[in-house]
A and B are shown apart, each in its own frame.
Chain A
């Protein structure tokens, strides 16, 4: 079995060598989970790609493949890019983790960057953004704005990144409004406008007047607009076309500076396998403009919260915080460590329902 693996590797490497000889530009590939026009997650990654093109001009060539399913097809898409002579490949969804590691093992000379995962190798880096910092600001606004005290939350998959967001939003909503309740719906998809709209409508019917989403399309925004008197926040992208109502603010992922840095590192030959997790401070997470639908006083509070997180003065997970089952997690003044946050698989005290498992 080892021999067959070795042979496969050599066959692929030979193909790579012939491909690499024929080019001088740095070739950068992107694997996207949704269409580039999703208006959310993939849209922002594609904006990063365009920024790379603009920054480096003739020195780079970018290629991308959109709507790549998280599974066997992802491995082929990455192999195609590596064979096509890509020097650096960004794989921009959690489900690409194992495929990225597998393909990277066959192409030791190609650099890979996997978003939101935890497996690394000599030629595989991971990167993600501290979206939970943005969720804290969002939770604060949501907690003050809700009149029914019911906040609906559309989750994608119950993975730590999403659970962190729920916890952070809840903690900060609860802080300003002790009566607040969260209803969480799991959509089991990153991008499915029909499912997302259904989830939003169901939550609104149950009395939620704030909809938070961790899915990539603008369908929940449209559903909220239709219902009226429901507020939402742009997810991953500004979604400004729904401002000033229902979209009152947003969490924007800004990947461009990171992508430009990493491409530069490949050009300079200084690229190393790293694990990057940046937040509001370094500018990877931005809070989109808070509209006039939010009272000026609350807007100022939210901006102050954003700035104190950005400056590193306040951590959204600062004790005392208990877990859902009542056991102590963080003592007074204690701050969560990155290890626990990275693998977060529990709700904090006060959230109802179970994480699916």
Chain B
């Protein structure tokens, strides 16, 4: 008989070994699936995990890894602060959209100026847009004790409607004879968030993500607010006795996560996406929740988790285009990775005991 025994603290050894184990298990299970689909499993695994980093076209893929990982990390770092404190902002996707809309709106109000102040103003507006959108669930929570999970999630759908309305109305490109979508912000020099070094994928959003990781690390390990966050998450009662102001904590965590999501949206819409269209959001806000937990709510962990998620996306696309593997199989493969990553966590949190029958 096998028995699970909870460890008093997670095992250090397994905490660092389980991710590697999970990737190995995914390769085996995924390889089996690819083989069943009639594809060469070794080639498929190599295309997904090796080619984007060291393959023939890695010079392009490596940059794309950063482009894809940047917004995920930026959003996840903000979310992790709240999650650590037990504040569940599930609506980062909505804050991402609103940041992009407000930022783009501020920029387009000055079109076609070429002032160098436009992009900085848009960045500020993007952060504020996301922050204010996150303030709705935050204030409702502290004033009326509403559930921030529901409110923030439902506000995503509201944001999507506003996005459609903006792409069709207020922000529509007046030169695009009847077609929806804003002007292309990546092609307007004053608002373009271009790669800082060509071909590296390193745009301002990626830089912002790295800065956010560093700041979050310092905040959580060195600052009193970080201590309050940890305390509130581990023991809300103790936190209250310890002088943590729960209202301030909710506002702070929601504001940070909203502002970072808004920034991610703004950097995306001025760079890789280029314009506010009816459906320009591509689910980063939701994927970032997975990234946050995958990174164990730790800033450095999130950095690595974001890069790993990006790798499965980029490598998965490459496997589709070069090997003809169906999109659904790639999604299943990503699902396996998450399943194994969370599944093997059992090893770090529990000790496995093999008991002989009859011995009690």
Contact B320 A66 (CB under 8 A): yes
Q: Closest CB-CB distance, A190 to chain B, in whole Å? A: 9
Q: How far is the CA of A158 from the CA of B165 in the complex (A)?
A: 11
Contact B317 A80 (CB under 8 A): yes
Q: How far is the CA of A159 from the CA of B268 in the complex (A)?
A: 24
Map CB proximity to A onto B121-142 as digits: 1 under 8 Å, 0 otherwise. 0000000000000000000000
Partner of B321 from the list A8, A80, A159, A188 (CB cut-off 8 Å) is: A80
Residues on A with C-beta less than 8 A from B194 are: 1, 4-5
> How many residues in B have their beta carbons less than 8 Å from beta carbons of A?
44
Residues on A with C-beta less than 8 A from B262 are: none
Contact A158 B168 (CB under 8 A): yes
Map CB proximity to B onto A80-91 as digits: 1 under 8 Å, 0 otherwise. 110110000000
Residues on A with C-beta less than 8 A from B199 are: 7-8, 11-12
Residues on A with C-beta less than 8 A from B197 are: 4
Q: How far is the CA of A295 from the CA of B228 in the complex (A)?
A: 75
Contact A188 B178 (CB under 8 A): no
A-B contact list, 11 entries, CB within 8 Å = A5-B194, A12-B60, A15-B57, A71-B272, A71-B280, A80-B57, A83-B60, A98-B274, A98-B275, A188-B278, A345-B178
- Measured CB to CB, the residues of B under 8 A from A are 56-57, 59-60, 64, 67, 164-165, 168-169, 172, 177-180, 184, 189, 192, 194-195, 197-199, 268, 272-275, 277-282, 314, 317-318, 320-322, 324, 326-328
Contact B168 A15 (CB under 8 A): no
Q: Closest CB-CB distance, A176 to chain B, in whole Å? A: 29
User: Which residue of B has the minimal Cβ distance to A159?
Assistant: B179
Q: Name the interface residues of A65-118: CB closer than 8 Å to any CB of B.
A: 65-67, 69-73, 75-77, 79-81, 83-84, 94-95, 98-99, 102, 118
Q: Closest CB-CB distance, B26 to chain A, in whole Å? A: 21
Given A95-B277, A188-B279, the answer on whether A65 and B321 have CB atoms closer than 8 Å is yes
Q: How far is the CA of A202 from the CA of B218 in the complex (A)?
A: 53
Q: Name the interface residues of A177-197: CB closer than 8 Å to any CB of B.
A: 188-189
The number of chain A residues touching the other chain, given as a range, is 35 or more
Contact B198 A188 (CB under 8 A): no
Contact B320 A159 (CB under 8 A): no
Q: How far is the CA of A63 from the CA of B324 in the complex (A)?
A: 7
User: Which residue of B has the minimal Cβ distance to A86?
Assistant: B321
User: Which residue of A has the minimal Cβ distance to B322?
Assistant: A84
A312 at the B interface (CB under 8 A) = no
Q: How far is the CA of A343 from the CA of B175 in the complex (A)?
A: 11
A319 at the B interface (CB under 8 A) = no
Given A65-B317, A159-B178, A344-B178, the answer on whether A4 and B198 have CB atoms closer than 8 Å is yes
Contact B59 A70 (CB under 8 A): no
Contact A356 B282 (CB under 8 A): no
Given A76-B314, A80-B321, A357-B172, the answer on whether A11 and B282 have CB atoms closer than 8 Å is no
Partner of A357 from the list B169, B279, B327 (CB cut-off 8 Å) is: B169
Contact A8 B327 (CB under 8 A): no
Q: Closest CB-CB distance, A337 to chain B, in whole Å? A: 13
Partner of B282 from the list A8, A72, A94 (CB cut-off 8 Å) is: A72
Partner of A65 from the list B164, B273, B277, B320 (CB cut-off 8 Å) is: B320
Contact A79 B60 (CB under 8 A): yes
Residues on B with C-beta less than 8 A from A258 are: none
Q: Closest CB-CB distance, A67 to chain B, in whole Å? A: 4
Contact A357 B168 (CB under 8 A): yes
User: Which residue of A has the minimal Cβ distance to B176?
Assistant: A118
Q: Closest CB-CB distance, B317 to chain A, in whole Å? A: 6
Q: How far is the CA of A15 from the CA of B55 in the complex (A)?
A: 12
Contact B282 A73 (CB under 8 A): yes
A281 at the B interface (CB under 8 A) = no
Contact B164 A188 (CB under 8 A): yes
A259 at the B interface (CB under 8 A) = no
Contact B277 A71 (CB under 8 A): yes
User: Which residue of A has the minimal Cβ distance to B323?
Assistant: A63
Residue of B184, B189, B198, B280 with highest tally of chain A CB at under 10 A: B198
User: Which residue of A has the minimal Cβ distance to B177?
Assistant: A343
A350 at the B interface (CB under 8 A) = no
Partner of B60 from the list A15, A73, A188 (CB cut-off 8 Å) is: A15
A160 at the B interface (CB under 8 A) = yes
User: Which residue of A has the minimal Cβ distance to B178?
Assistant: A345
Residues on B with C-beta less than 8 A from A342 are: 177
Residues on B with C-beta less than 8 A from A65 are: 317, 320-321, 327
Given A65-B317, A65-B320, the answer on whether A72 and B172 have CB atoms closer than 8 Å is no
Given A12-B60, A83-B60, A357-B172, the answer on whether A63 and B321 have CB atoms closer than 8 Å is yes
Contact A83 B57 (CB under 8 A): yes
Contact B168 A356 (CB under 8 A): yes
A64 at the B interface (CB under 8 A) = yes
Given A69-B282, A81-B321, the answer on whether A11 and B195 have CB atoms closer than 8 Å is no
Contact B59 A15 (CB under 8 A): yes
Q: Name the interface residues of A1-36: CB closer than 8 Å to any CB of B.
A: 1, 4-5, 7-8, 11-12, 15, 18-19, 29, 35-36
Given A66-B326, A79-B60, A357-B172, the answer on whether A84 and B321 have CB atoms closer than 8 Å is yes
Given A65-B327, A71-B279, A76-B64, the answer on whether A11 and B59 have CB atoms closer than 8 Å is yes
Contact B168 A7 (CB under 8 A): no
Q: How far is the CA of A85 from the CA of B83 in the complex (A)?
A: 45
Contact A75 B272 (CB under 8 A): yes
Residues on B with C-beta less than 8 A from A18 are: 56
Q: Name the interface residues of A211-245: CB closer than 8 Å to any CB of B.
A: none
Partner of A7 from the list B192, B198, B281, B328 (CB cut-off 8 Å) is: B198
A157 at the B interface (CB under 8 A) = yes
Residues on A with C-beta less than 8 A from B272 are: 71-72, 75
